[in-house]
Amino acid sequence: MIKIGLTGSIGSGKTTVLNLLKDYGFLILNLDSEAKKLLKKNTIEYKKIVAFFGKNILNKDGEINKKILAEAIFSDPSKKKALENIIYPTLRTNINSILEGSKKPLAIIEGAVIIESGYYLKLDKTVLVVCDLSRRIKRSYKKFSFDDFRRRDKNQLNQAEKIKKSDFIINNNYGLKFLIPQIQLLMNFLKNIYSA
Ligand code: ATP
């Protein structure tokens, strides 16, 4: 199976591009939603996270409050590392078993930190969605406050560094209709490489 990573900085348009790729019949995986499953109450990872971060990260119903957890890790790199050490091994096992259980010839794996985590080295190609900072801030306005955006963005590699490690770049600085021809170019790029 050919494994393609799809990544980009916060608010760059990863999910938007992923949605455009859904009609091609590939296996589609979202690392963030797979990771969120591990935070659910009473998983092994949940227990480890609560043991490490304390019960103050829990909602009244006992579920992990993702906003509080995010605040804890974005203000302390050692806590971020601790969370990654809890989540990543199971996440990788789960992703591998989904990939191995699929008969589809190509998988698109979307994730915010595919490059930062080193996961891109295990993939065949990395596709990066880029977008100017000001547009990313504007487009993320409903999801994150400006401070929240800056804090999260600072925790990621900058776009220039991500470009160096990527194989195909999608420019999402313009309207949605400008994504369509770029998706077609991506399809041609993959076809040329993998049918050869
Ligand atoms: P996050 O890092 O928060 O997961 P993301 O990289 O997945 O974000 P999207 O959720 O795809 O980015 O896009 C962010 C917002 O910008 C969404 O509301 C989306 O509808 C909007 N958006 C994406 N691309 C465009 C575009 N080309 N023109 C206008 N709005 C766009």
70 and 149 share one domain: no
Domain boundary among 45, 80, 103: 103
Identify whether residues 97 and 181 lie together within a single domain: no
Q: Which atom of ligand 1 is nearest to the CA of 112?
A: 2
Q: Are 113 and 45 members of one domain?
A: no
Q: What residues are paired with 27 via a beta bridge?
A: 107
Token pair belonging to 56: 């103050």
Regarding the beta carbon of 177 and ligand 1, being less than 6 Å apart is answered no
Q: According to the model, what pLDDT value does residue 155 have?
A: 87
Mean pLDDT for each consecutive 10-residue tract of the chain (196 residues)?
97 96 94 96 96 96 95 91 96 96 96 95 98 96 91 92 98 97 97 85
**For residue 61, what are the contacts with CB-CB under 8 A and spacing of at least 6?**
41
Query: CATH number, domain at 99?
Result: 3.40.50.300
Claim to verify: residue 137 and residue 178 sit in the same structural domain: yes
Which residues partner with 108 through β-bridges? 4, 28
Enclosing domain of residue 84? 34-103
Atom 25 of ligand 1 has which residue's CA nearest to it? 176
The Cα–Cα gap between 90 and 3 comes to 19
Per-residue pLDDT at 38: 97
Query: From the CB of 112, is ligand 1 less than 6 Å away?
Result: yes
Do 110 and 20 lie in one domain? The reply is: yes
Note whether 11 and 55 are same-domain residues. no
